[in-house]
Amino acid sequence: MKPLVADVAVVGAGPAGAAAAIGLARAGQQVVVVDRTSFPRDKYCGDGLTTGALRLLEHLGLDPSSVSSWQAAPSLVIRAPSGLEVAYPFSRLGQYAATARRSHLDAALVSLARQAGAEVLDGCACEGVTVDADRVVLKVAGVGALHARYAIAADGMWSPVRRMLGLSLPAYRGDWCAFRQYYSDVGPQAAGALRVWFEPEILPGYVWSFPLPGGAANVGFGVSRATHRSGSLARLWHELRSRPHIAAVLGPGATPTDRPRAWPIPTRLGELPLAAERVLFCGDAAGVGDPMTGEGIGQALLSGLLAAEAMTEAGPHDDSAARELYRSGVARHLQRDFHFTRLLGRALRNPTGCNMAVGISGATPWTRRNFARWLFEDYPRALVLTPDRWQRGALGGGAFGDRPRGVTPG
Ligand SMILES: Cc1cc2nc3c(=O)[nH]c(=O)nc-3n(C[C@H](O)[C@H](O)[C@H](O)COP(=O)(O)OP(=O)(O)OC[C@H]3O[C@@H](n4cnc5c(N)ncnc54)[C@H](O)[C@@H]3O)c2cc1C
């Protein structure tokens, strides 16, 4: 079989790989993306999109109306372990939070990548990687050899590329474990707002219910592996969703429409490799997810775009510049927020800290509005501590509206 040749080969067509492919193709690079699944495909996820993620989707040219399950969220309601409930409204100018089934969102991103000029080969797993001085050669099922100057490993939590290059952390199974289940016929409370319950024994983890169109909801919970070590999570899920305050919000008609699905979430930025020779790692493969909430779609999109920029700027021959540019982009746009958030997240590990956080953030209309913007990454989490990012437009302003835009790479 004649080898396929590209400037950049991308492994994985989730948000990280699709964003990288769009960025590269728009910069004039020849890109081939391979994914072992065929799109549309499901990804176990809460389907929640922060303002940061929304703004990046807008930057990529995504039209929310092309995603059939897209729904903007008007507010978030958090219940503290004490039982205190606080409603945090989002501004109505632009979108600050939304939900979309990953099967729909990811397929729309793959379409955008194709429209931008990337060749996407879905249903084709990467089964081997060899890195030479001037190229990367991938072995792709059903395709044969794929030769490229660079590769992007956007192949998710278990990153087969990382494993094939011998770079996996021993016995690493992710930092969070999360369960997701879809429901139909939820009650008006669950159909209206994003809901988060901080239940004492799973802190700093939480239960969520995120509304989807047509009376559906994505309901699930996540626990940190650092603090939660024992017991069956499947049994715990059954028990958590039956708690009266959670069952009351889901409503008497709420009916599961699939089995609960579990998947790990990696939040190990700085410990998992970001770059090795001619390969850059993005999204879950680089552990860039938020260490406090476990969300990772926005971070996956951003890291994919940063990798695309680094490769484009470095040119085809200077792989050391590509690695350096990518590392410094990640340090500037992701790493400082990651460390700051991890530190703050420690306050949520015990009921007292969590009750205080909810109490203080819910004290006044001003704190409620501004906490919601901070939590949903309307601006970078550590912006206040990083004056080099104070610039016009840095304070965000929602997405898909007519307000000023916030920070996007470039
Ligand atoms: C239960 C749960 C709930 C979550 N909720 C949220 C949420 O509400 N909001 C949020 O922002 N984040 C959430 N996350 C995190 C989010 O899902 C991930 O951070 C995000 O999907 C990472 O995107 P990615 O592109 O890096 O990887 P993925 O989306 O995992 O994509 C990786 C792709 O690589 C492909 N691949 C793997 N191996 C190969 C191979 N050998 N060859 C070719 N292709 C391969 C896969 O098929 C897949 O399509 C949640 C995670 C879980 C587990």
Predicted confidence (pLDDT) at residue 213 exceeds the cutoff of 80: yes
User: What is the mean pLDDT of the segment spanning 351-377?
Assistant: 89
What does the pLDDT read at residue 405?
A: 40
pLDDT band at residue 407 under the 50/70/90 scheme: very low
In ligand 1, the atom with minimum distance to the C-alpha of 285 is 26
Kindly report, residue by residue over 23-72, the tens digit of the pLDDT. Answer: 999 999 999 999 999 999 999 999 999 999 999 999 999 999 999 999 99
User: What is the mean pLDDT of the segment spanning 182-211?
Assistant: 97
Predicted confidence (pLDDT) at residue 408 exceeds the cutoff of 50: no
The answer to whether the beta carbons of residues 262 and 235 sit under 8 Å apart is no
Which of 112-116, 156-160, 290-294 shows the lowest mean pLDDT across its residues?
290-294
The answer to whether the beta carbons of residues 20 and 308 sit under 8 Å apart is yes
Pairing of strands 4-11, 31-35: parallel
What does the pLDDT read at residue 228?
A: 80
What does the pLDDT read at residue 392?
A: 67
Across 87-96, 315-324, 355-364, 391-400, the highest mean pLDDT is recorded for 315-324
Mutate to test the pocket of ligand 1, among 35, 76, 143, 219 (most ligand atoms within 8 A of CB): 35
Predicted confidence (pLDDT) at residue 170 exceeds the cutoff of 80: yes
Mutate to test the pocket of ligand 1, among 233, 259, 269, 284 (most ligand atoms within 8 A of CB): 284
Which of 188-197, 276-285, 352-361 shows the lowest mean pLDDT across its residues?
352-361
What does the pLDDT read at residue 374?
A: 81
Mean of per-residue pLDDT scores for the chain: 93
pLDDT band at residue 214 under the 50/70/90 scheme: very high
Output 378 or 257, whichever has higher pLDDT.
257
**Quick one: DSSP state of residue 269?**
B
pLDDT band at residue 195 under the 50/70/90 scheme: very high
What stretch of H or E contains 146? strand 144-153
How far does the centroid of ligand 1 lie from the alpha carbon of residue 376, in Å? 19
Using a 6 Å cutoff on CB, does residue 297 contact ligand 1? Answer: yes
How far does the centroid of ligand 1 lie from the alpha carbon of residue 238, in Å? 24
What does the pLDDT read at residue 404?
A: 43
Mutate to test the pocket of ligand 1, among 269, 297, 338 (most ligand atoms within 8 A of CB): 297
**Nearest CA, atom 19, ligand 1:** 296
What does the pLDDT read at residue 1?
A: 73
Kindly report, residue by residue over 93-107, the tens digit of the pLDDT. Answer: 889 999 999 999 999
SS percent in the chain: helix, strand, coil, step 5: 35, 25, 40
Using a 6 Å cutoff on CB, does residue 180 contact ligand 1? Answer: yes
pLDDT band at residue 402 under the 50/70/90 scheme: low
What does the pLDDT read at residue 227?
A: 83
Using a 6 Å cutoff on CB, does residue 34 contact ligand 1? Answer: yes
What does the pLDDT read at residue 104?
A: 98
Predicted confidence (pLDDT) at residue 410 exceeds the cutoff of 80: no
What does the pLDDT read at residue 257?
A: 98
Q: Which residues, in sequence order, are CB contacts of 166 under 8 Å at separation 6+? A: none
Using a 6 Å cutoff on CB, does residue 207 contact ligand 1? Answer: no
pTM for this entry = 0.95
Closest CA to 97 of 46, 45, 47, 49: 49
Checking phi first, is residue 203 left (phi over 0); if not, alpha (psi -120 to 50) or beta? Answer: beta
Portion of the chain with pLDDT greater than 70, in percent: 96
Q: Which domains, ranges and CATH numbers included, belong to the chain?
A: 4-72+86-172+267-344 (3.50.50.60), 176-265 (3.30.9.10)
Predicted confidence (pLDDT) at residue 406 exceeds the cutoff of 60: no
Using a 6 Å cutoff on CB, does residue 97 contact ligand 1? Answer: no
Using a 6 Å cutoff on CB, does residue 54 contact ligand 1? Answer: no
Predicted confidence (pLDDT) at residue 371 exceeds the cutoff of 50: yes
In ligand 1, the atom with minimum distance to the C-alpha of 155 is 34
In ligand 1, the atom with minimum distance to the C-alpha of 222 is 1
